[in-house]
Amino acid sequence: MKQIFDNVSYSCSKQVTNAYSTSFSLATKMLAPSIRSHIYNIYGFVRFADEIVDSFHDYDKATLFDRFEEDMEKALQDKISLNPILNSFQHTVHQYGIDRELIDAFMYSMRLDLSKSVYRTEEEYKQYIYGSADVVGLMCLKVFVKGDQAKYEELKQSAMSLGSAFQKVNFLRDLKADFEGLSRTYFPNTNLESLDEVSKQKIIEEIEADFRRGYEGILLLPTEAKFGVFMAYRYYKRLLKKLKKTPALEIKNTRIRVPNYEKFGLLTRSYVKYQLNLVR
């Protein structure tokens, strides 16, 4: 009856994805059923870790994070956990051989959010993004290529670039929440108290370069993954377009969104482009 428990665990990871991110959930639904549940499993894990450091303000975050990390270690070691999110994650880790270095780098960046609020150098900034975003893209890539290490190595850099682009868009979109709510400044050498157009444009150019490198990898993805990742790419590109049109000071004082009706419009147009073989 272990399979019943595992199925419940996978359902929990799917529910977490649906509850926390309509955009990621929509993109994940576009993946082939054979890999879809494993992307939910990865998302559930990274979302729970992120929620601990970002949201649980009335609790001892450090203690909660320590406990979560200890439970994760036991889940990976024992290949089971009574925490359904960790149980589903460990299953995906073992099935697809997700490198421990990726998991450790992610947990390191999440732990930084408990104490570090300012990233002053490019090195610090890149290290945080690698752990908080690039490695998540690499975990998903492990699932997409289904154990094909040569394909993984071929697509590794583009997957990291796409992860970086998504994270930097999130940083730009969430300036108000991060700066005012959490007192965090991720962009180095940028005065967020008076963000100007020059600084904003520099950030956007950096993101656009990441998107270009990431798109090259999307074209080479296996069929089971290509449309779902393309959908996520299109969503974040739309979000960046909105940010690009928004004055710098307004970005700091509001949260730019892509309404649900636009997301579904994007889905329709993306599907047409994909079916007509225009994704190339």
Cα 258 from Cα 264, distance rounded (Å): 10
**Quick one: tokens of 248?**
């710098």
Question: Span 108-134, mean pLDDT?
Answer: 92
When mean pLDDT is compared across 131-140, 214-223, 251-260, the lowest value belongs to: 251-260
User: DSSP letters of 61-80?
Assistant: HHHHHHHHHHHHHHHHHHT-
Are the C-beta atoms of 155 and 220 separated by less than 8 Å? Answer: yes
Are the C-beta atoms of 12 and 88 separated by less than 8 Å? Answer: yes
Rounded to a whole number of angstroms, the distance between the first and last alpha carbons of the chain is 45
Cα 165 from Cα 159, distance rounded (Å): 10
pTM over 0.75: yes
Please report which confidence band the pLDDT of residue 269 belongs to, taking 50, 70 and 90 as the band edges.
low
- Residue found under tokens 């992307």: 39
Three-state secondary-structure class, residue 275: helix
Q: Nearest CA to 214 among 255, 169, 174, 244?
A: 169
pLDDT of 44 above 60: yes
Are the C-beta atoms of 144 and 218 separated by less than 8 Å? Answer: no
- Residue 271 is predicted with a pLDDT of 47
**Quick one: tokens of 52?**
């601990």
Question: Span 74-84, mean pLDDT?
Answer: 98
In the chain, the percentage of residues whose pLDDT exceeds 70 is 86
Give residue-wise pLDDT tens across range 188-243: 867 666 678 888 888 899 999 999 999 999 999 999 999 999 999 999 999 999 88
Are the C-beta atoms of 32 and 224 separated by less than 8 Å? Answer: yes
Q: Give all domains of the chain, ordered by start, each with its CATH number.
A: 2-275 (1.10.600.10)
pLDDT of 260 above 90: no
pLDDT of 33 above 60: yes
Give residue-wise pLDDT tens across range 143-174: 999 989 999 999 999 999 999 999 999 888 88
Number of residues assigned to the chain:
280
